[in-house]
Structure 1
Amino acid sequence: MEKIDWSPLLISLKTGIVATAISFILGIIIAGLVMRANKKVKWILDGILTLPLVLPPTVAGFILLLIFSLRRPFGIFLLNHLGIKVVQTWYGCVMAAIVIAFPLMYRNTRAAFEQVDINLIYAGRTLGLSERKIFWKIIVPVAGPGIASGTVLTFARAIGEYGATTMLAGNILGKTRTISTAIAAEVSAGNYDIAAFWVIVIIILSFAIVVSINVLTGHGMKNVKRW
């Protein structure tokens, strides 16, 4: 087997961490706003925010490519005014990971918010707490396990993203090549031993993520009753 270039692992982890951090913040805030919306608005917003979860990643990647292309107004604006180029760069990896993984953070967070006992909210209001304090000091902490589970799932999805990443960021070694794109590239080149190595790496990471979910949500083996 040829010498392993570890850059895909580093790029995947860096992309996953940044994308998860952004999705974490946006997921909590947006889920809270959607929960307060009326029923019709909630349905529409929920559909829009969940859409990347059901769309083929290549479709999401194509839409992102149209938005951030240097031939499009927004892409030109980012480059000329902010010096940011998304297409064929690491920023593209992050953007693709956020769009594809965010729905998992949003859905898990919203579901966790819906499980919060309404009496706790009423108690907070009785004590004179503002809606903002109730949200951050009561709802978010109580929904903590669900939020934590969504965070871990978001990270898992972000580091494993392939379709949208390939469309937007490409497959540039040492720059935008993640583990998923590395596996596809090595298989195409006939380097099955290197591809198998990266498959093992991603399996180990995925297993560690599943264990983390069990620990964070309190559904680990220590809580399982024997028959």
Structure 2
Amino acid sequence: MNILFDVGASGGALLHNASEMDIDLRNVDVIVISHGHYDHTGGLLDALKIINKPTAIIIHPDALALKYAIKPKFRLTGVPHTISEIKKHGGRFLVTHDSVFLTDSVATTGEIKRETDFEKTPEYYMLIRGGKVAQDKLLDDQALVINHEKGLIVITGCAHAGVVNTIRHAQKIFGRRDVYAVIGGFHLIGASDERIEKTVESLIEINPRIVGPCHCTGDKALKIISDNFAGKFTEVRVGTVLNL
């Protein structure tokens, strides 16, 4: 099965990168959306045009809400396409709060339980649901989990739910504690020193064999994680291929 996990901020970037990496998007079987922010959903229409067949899109209901942020200034942050546009181009929504098994060994986390006391969602994210404005606690945030023979592989989009919460949730889904790799955005950019420190302490306890933070992790957190995971830290950039 070929899974496309998020589609980038724009179709131009997605199609260019896919071409450079010799990835044929026509072979995509299912799209998983980590959460409803524009930089993870902007390329959706262009992806669907290339896929050119009815394609399941696994997504949390809140990801389809109108989203915006009020700091550092007012800005729209949600999916930049309408539901009707997405459906018109072959998108078939599977909207759920729950974990979805794509194969026996690959699953989405679904909505992630918030357990840690240090992984808080900023209060400046907002959404409009049912005509009412509410704080967006980013409950739509989800990850992809692979139950690998070497241990769990956890792939995050932004980990707005907290990367530690995400890993713990993944462990419960498959009923195993050993984590082989955690890769993706850890959303520690702008985080307090305390949050970064507690995140690193928890990751050391979890003891993944590969740690590949990127995207919204932030330079400060990247340096600290790199220093604490010598021999395990993997630099992840656009075009990085990981053979796990």
Q: TM-score range by the shorter chain?
A: under 0.3
* Structure with the bigger percentage of helix: 1
Structure with greater strand share of residues: 2
